[in-house]
Structure 1
């Protein structure tokens, strides 16, 4: 009786192991999407490129809806070169550097809310920021195309910025100087399209990430203040669209 029971238990164990083996085999086949089977950009290539953006505005006695007698002058400038190396097919690692500068000189702005009028005068703001990023980028061709492809970029960024803002003029003048340090982990998927064998146009968008920022301020060279913020972004930001040119060497 004992021998029959032992043989029955061994038979059940063998059958169970075969079932799990078949399930494991089917699971592996199910998740194998062969994403890296097609080579879009081969191992050993270098990539370099960047993006540049500049915009300026000037308003003189502008009136729009509740905004009255608006006078302002300003500009925004940003340049971001980068370089990377493909250590595997369709996978690259590299560095990115960014410099940005923002300027605004607001002479006058009246906000007319009917019974309430808010007036702003002699506001000045200037900030420049330096950033360095390490990134890892993976590519995937669209179908069998050798021209169009998708990519996703993971970035780790450190930024340092200095800025100053002021209000008023003459004896009624307040000025604040600040230093900003920040760390960011972000994800930026995008689309690339080759226009020649060695050059491609890229469009990417920041869709999620974590940001940590530390700000130190000094007002009128007397008062000091600090601020620390942390945030997580899990949404599509249409204002974070980046368009640039990349060359593959």
Structure 2
């Protein structure tokens, strides 16, 4: 399961958790009241003109021993993945938001793999970025809108580069260069629950998507090869489940 932590307006959140807070009418709320009665006082997080801003970070570290890793068998290795995401959105109408996500990611692998008939030391690093303009609609599940269902429809365009060094012995090093371009149309449903003031927990799941990828690869100074792949997926994949935090605010306050 991929866990994503949204670090959005930390100072706003800390102030709401520790100190008393006043709303636009001057009423003070204690932290307990912000978690209960606050949501019954004209709380409208999805109204027209509201803004959504956020930052996200995820980290994954895996130790591999005598296991299959996609196209190769790993004798002993380690994989470290992380990504950074910045997101913004604006509600153009009641419960409807247009947004843009910008993501940078990096993946590293180092270890011994089997390439018949030899075992070689392999080092791979991949870096990439993506842009995802999207539209999000919210459907409140409670009268005070504290719990809601949402659906995100987005189009992602991304590019990545990778370099792999396969070392058979100190005198034999093969360098594999790869460049990928990806395009994806996807639908992702989820649930939002406001825990305190406009600070919410979110769960999102990739459900339906079409993806097109173009991969160009070259080993050392040899000829370049190209693979074009298209796929359509419609399944509930718990590995794509994202857990996060978000903050909604009104610029007109």
Per-residue deviation at 1:108? Answer: 5.3
- Is the 2:53–2:248 Cα contact (8 Å) retained in structure 1? yes
Counterparts of 1:184 and 1:240, CA distance in 2: 15
Give the RMSD, CA atoms, in angstroms.
Answer: 2.5
Q: CA 1:58 to 1:233, structure 2 compared with 1: closer, same or farther past 3 Å?
A: closer
Residue 52 (structure 1) aligns with: 57
Structure 1: give runs of 5+ residues left out of the alignment: 1-38, 111-116
- Asked if the contact 1:55–1:76 (Cα under 8 Å) also holds between the matched residues in 2, the reply is yes
Aligned pairs (5 A) from 1:201-220:
201-220=201-220
Range that drifts further, 193-202 or 95-104? 193-202
More relative contact order, 1 or 2 (CA 8 Å, 6+ apart):
2
Shift of 1:63: 6.7
Contact 1:51 1:243 in 2 (8 A): no
Residue 119 (structure 1) shift: 6.0
Deviations, residues 152-180 of structure 1 (Å, cap 9, x unaligned): 00001100100012322433322111111
CA distance in 2, matches of 1:69, 1:185: 33
Stretches of 4+ aligned residues off by more than 4 angstroms: none
Q: Structure 2 stretches of 5 or more lacking a match?
A: 1-43, 68-72
| Corresponding residue for residue 167 of structure 2 | 168
1:188-219 CA distances to partner (integer Å, 9 max, x unpaired)? 00011111222111110100110011111121
Higher helix share: 1
Aligned to 1:114: none
Q: How many residues align?
A: 201
Q: Is the 8 A contact 1:40 1:89 kept in 2?
A: no
**Against the structure 1 CA distance between its residues 63 and 215, is the aligned structure 2 distance closer, same or farther, given a 3 Å change threshold?**
closer
Work out whether residues 53 and 79 of structure 1, in 8 Å CA contact, stay in contact via their aligned partners in 2.
yes
